[in-house]
Amino acid sequence: MRYFPIYYDMQNTNVAIVGGDEEAAQKLRLLKKTPAEITVFAPSLNAELEDSFKNNLIDWQREEPSEENLSAFSLIYAAADDETNEKIAQIAYRLKTPLNVVDAPDLCNFITPAIVDRAPITVAIGSEGAAPVLARMIKTKIEALLSTDIGNIAKKAQSLRHLVAKKYKSFEQRRNFWDHLFKDVFAGATSATIYQNALDDLNNLNENDSLQESNQESSGQKTSKGFVSLVGAGPGPSDLLTFRAARALQTADVVIYDRLVDQTVLEIIRRDAKRIFVGKAPGEKCVSQDEINKHILEQANKGLRVVRLKCGDPLIFGRAGEEMEAMKEAGIEFEIIPGITAANACAAEANLPLTIREDTRALIYLTGHSADGLTPYKWASFATKGVMLVLYMGVKMAPKIQANLLAVGASPKSKISIIENGCKENSRTFSSSLGRLSQEIKHNQITNPAIILISIEKQAVSIEETNEAVMNESE
């Protein structure tokens, strides 16, 4: 490790930036987040630096700095032309002042890492100058894991330290308190909620309670009910997960997941988390919804953090309503983390707009079957020009869906798209017409999971015309 990471106190620190163009502005963007006094040495400033000068965020010296000028500074950034940078480097070496030179690692005796700023929580990522782009990519990954509120959580915790020290006499008790408090950080709890919960616990605590709670925590006993996150896994690989979903998976004690959840999503789950498979396959004996609810409540009642992981979005044909009701009745706290639903992702993959201004202005999500077979819709209300129908789980019932739509006047020429295994490596997309829906599914041996998109076009004039059109489409 050539570069040893150190956090430098910028309070009452003078920093010099030599240069007035974009490279200098990039350095200033970071330094402005600190309390340091910043002076820019340059004959002229670009618009961004000039704006900072006008707003009294920097001091501006128009001449090239001398050794005497630079002796007053604790840090120096050289961001000018090569000749000037070389001169500044020689001065900094004589002064033994920490120096960073833009795009010249051999002249630097310190480098600025990629920084995830959640002050007072900060994360620095460095590559010793070997791969700065890779460092930025790693930064992006970490940004996804840390909520924008985590800095406020740290500030709230700091404000509680005196009270925690007063309530808990031993180091072990205090450590257990903080461990318990911060378990909620990565599950979407806000700083205000965490602070208020901690304050309530501390204010309601006496010495005997604190000792008993500490002993329970040390022995692994749980003193409260757990928390459940209903998480949308999206329709495929993990790069379609939301940041919040990824955080929930990495902090879960238990993950209860479906059959269609992609393997790359499961790999995000922390290794020591318990996994419970509750997948449902068409035509096979499967775990009932009552059993799934029982699993959720059983794990949450142990005081664990539970993720109920569903393919797509939990609120769209994911039976989240039944799970929510069960948790409300049991007094279990929960949250919903939405995911990218299959229709949106599949349409995007196939480059198909779900709405078109002045053309397709209504979007209707339907499930192709109910517990008793075909869902009993009022099909006539769908057979209107400008409507896009999105059918989930519609492959088996496609012939009946086709017949119902045609019977109420939908044109056989209405455009359809069928996306099988959307967003996966074996994804297939077929485009045809409503009049050929059944034939396309049979001919191409399409199976679930698949999304069927039907763009309703003008209505047929009569049943005879409909039958004739279907025969022509089928030929």
Residues 470 and 358 in one domain: yes
Tally of CB atoms within 10 A around 16: 25
Question: What's the average model confidence in pLDDT over 283-296?
Answer: 86
Query: What percent of the chain clears pLDDT 90, i.e. is strictly above it?
Result: 56
Report pTM: 0.63
Return d(Cα 266, Cα 277) in angstroms, integer. 11
Q: Confirm whether 93 is domain-assigned.
A: yes
Per-residue CA distances from 308 to 98, 316, 337 (Å): 51, 14, 10
- In this prediction, residue 329 carries a pLDDT of 96
| pLDDT(3) > 90 | no
Residues 317 and 239 in one domain: yes
**278 band by pLDDT with thresholds 50, 70 and 90:** very high
Write phi, then psi, for 361 (nearest 5 degrees). -115, 0
pLDDT tens, position by position, 394-419: 999 999 999 999 999 999 999 999 99
Give one DSSP letter per residue of 3-14, joined into a string.
SPP-----TT-E
Relative to beta strand 428-433, strand 415-420 is antiparallel
450-473 b/e (C-beta count within 10 Å ≥ 16 → b): bbbbbbbbebbeeeeebeebbeeb
Residues 392 and 423 in one domain: yes
Q: Confirm whether 268 is domain-assigned.
A: yes
pLDDT averaged over the chain? 87
| pLDDT(472) > 70 | no
Return d(Cα 180, Cα 203) in angstroms, integer. 16
Closest CA to 99 of 9, 176, 16: 16
Residues 192 and 273 in one domain: no
- In this prediction, residue 473 carries a pLDDT of 53
- Asked whether the beta carbons of 31 and 17 are under 8 A apart, the reply is yes
- Asked whether the beta carbons of 190 and 156 are under 8 A apart, the reply is no
Question: What's the average model confidence in pLDDT over 357-364?
Answer: 90
Name beta bridge partners: 388.
363, 455
Higher pLDDT, 429 or 3: 429
Residues 186 and 89 in one domain: no
Instruction: Tell me, yes or no, if 424 is annotated catalytic.
Output: no
Residues 212 and 256 in one domain: no
Q: Confirm whether 8 is domain-assigned.
A: no
pLDDT tens, position by position, 215-237: 444 444 444 578 999 999 998 88
Q: 149, 184, 201, 258: which is the annotated catalytic residue?
A: 258
Structure tokens that stand for 139 in this block = 């930064």
Residues 197 and 250 in one domain: no
Question: What's the average model confidence in pLDDT over 437-465?
Answer: 84
Structure tokens that stand for 420 in this block = 């099988």
Residues 444 and 384 in one domain: yes
Return d(Cα 222, Cα 299) in angstroms, integer. 12
- List the CATH number of the domain containing 354: 3.30.950.10
- In this prediction, residue 87 carries a pLDDT of 96
Q: 183, 280, 385, 396: which is the annotated catalytic residue?
A: 280
Higher pLDDT, 3 or 12: 12
Query: Which of 298, 321, 340 delimits the end of a domain?
Result: 340
Return d(Cα 452, Cα 457) in angstroms, integer. 16
- In this prediction, residue 462 carries a pLDDT of 57
- In this prediction, residue 202 carries a pLDDT of 82
The residues near 326 (Cβ < 8 Å, ≥ 6 apart) are: 293, 296, 297
Residues 260 and 380 in one domain: no
Query: What percent of the chain clears pLDDT 70, i.e. is strictly above it?
Result: 89
Return d(Cα 238, Cα 41) in angstroms, integer. 47
Q: Confirm whether 6 is domain-assigned.
A: no
| pLDDT(433) > 90 | yes
Write phi, then psi, for 255 (nearest 5 degrees). -125, 120
pLDDT tens, position by position, 130-147: 888 899 899 988 887 788
Instruction: List the 37-41 sheet strands across, edge first.
Output: 59-61, 37-41, 14-18, 75-78, 99-101
Query: Which of 340, 369, 404 delimits the end of a domain?
Result: 340
**85 band by pLDDT with thresholds 50, 70 and 90:** very high
- List the CATH number of the domain containing 259: 3.40.1010.10
- Asked whether the beta carbons of 140 and 155 are under 8 A apart, the reply is no
8-state DSSP, 133: H
Residues 357 and 400 in one domain: yes
Q: Confirm whether 128 is domain-assigned.
A: no
Higher pLDDT, 363 or 243: 363
| CA max distance for the chain | 97
Query: Which of 60, 95, 112 delimits the end of a domain?
Result: 112
Q: Confirm whether 138 is domain-assigned.
A: no
Question: What's the average model confidence in pLDDT over 102-114?
Answer: 89
Q: Confirm whether 140 is domain-assigned.
A: no
Residues 332 and 375 in one domain: no
| pLDDT(204) > 70 | yes
Give the structural domain span for 278: 227-340
Instruction: Tell me, yes or no, if 280 is annotated catalytic.
Output: yes
pLDDT tens, position by position, 300-350: 999 888 999 999 999 999 899 999 999 999 999 999 999 999 999 999 988
**475 band by pLDDT with thresholds 50, 70 and 90:** low
8-state DSSP, 382: T
| pLDDT(286) > 90 | no
- In this prediction, residue 110 carries a pLDDT of 92
Residues 325 and 366 in one domain: no
Q: Confirm whether 126 is domain-assigned.
A: no
| pLDDT(195) > 80 | yes
Higher pLDDT, 429 or 218: 429
**211 band by pLDDT with thresholds 50, 70 and 90:** very low
How many structural domains is the chain composed of? Answer: 4
- In this prediction, residue 222 carries a pLDDT of 44
- List the CATH number of the domain containing 31: 3.40.50.720
